[in-house]
Amino acid sequence: MYRCRLQPSVLNDLSGLSGRLISGTIVYALSDRGTGTIPALGDNLGRIWWWSVVGSIVAVLAFRTGANEVVRTARRRGWVNHRTLIVGAGDIGSDLASRLSEHPEYGLKPIGFHDPFPPETSRLPLPVFSSSLDQTISDLRASVVVLTPVSIPDSELVELVRSRHRDHFEIHFVPSLYQLNS
C-alpha cells in the first residue's frame, strides 16, 4: 500500500484504508480498554464512538488525498523523478519516451534506450546503448527499467528480473498485445 505508484489515487486505497480502520476499531472495542464501550453502544457514548470511527476514516482518506496531490505536484515540478531506462528503441519505446516527457506527473524521467539492434531510420530523442543490459543500468544509474517488446533474448530478461532484488530498481512491462483482435 505504501509503494510508489505511477498514478496515486485515494480510490485505489479506499478499501484497504477503510478495512484497516474498521478492523482496528473492532479490535479496540474487544480489547480490555475498549470493553467499557460495548455495553454503551446503544446510548449517546455509542453514537459518539461510531461517529469517531467514521470521522477517522474520513480524516485518513482526506490526508491520503492531500499526500497524493503533494506527490503529483512534486513530480510535475521535477523535484521528484526516477531515472528511467527504456529497453527497446523501436516505435513503442520512442512513443513511450515522448509520452513520459509530456507527463512528468508520473515521476519517470527517460534517460536513454537500451537496444542491441536499434532501428537505423528513426531519430531518437535519447541516446541508445547496446552493451549488456546490466552494464547500461549500472552506468546510467537507472532506478526504473521499462521493458517494451524488443528482440532481447529471454535469458537476458530473466536475469534482469532476478537481479532486480539485488540491485534495487523497479521493472515495468509494456505488454505486446498484437495477437489480440479488437
pLDDT tier, 182 (very low <50, low <70, confident <90, very high otherwise): very low
- Alpha-carbon torsion angle 10, 12, 17, 23, nearest 10: 150
Report residue 84's pLDDT band, with 50, 70 and 90 as the boundaries.
very high
> In the block, which residue shows the cell 486505497?
13
34 pLDDT above the threshold of 90: no
Q: Both 66 and 112 in a single domain? A: no
pLDDT per position as a tens digit, 91-107:
888 888 999 999 888 88
Domain count, the chain: 2
Range of the domain at 131: 82-173
Please tell me whether residue 129 adopts helix, strand or coil conformation. strand
Q: Please report which confidence band the pLDDT of residue 8 belongs to, taking 50, 70 and 90 as the band edges.
A: low
Residues 95, 168: one domain?
yes
| Boundary of a domain, candidates 30, 52, 76 | 76
* Whether residues 147 and 109 fall in one domain: yes
Adjacency order of strands within the sheet including 144-147: 128-129, 108-114, 82-87, 144-147, 170-173
CA–CA separation, 98 and 122 (whole Å): 14
* Domain at 147, CATH number: 3.40.50.20
Picking from 76, 93, 116, the residue at the C-terminal end of a domain is 76
Are the CB atoms for 138 and 113 separated by under 8 Å? Answer: no
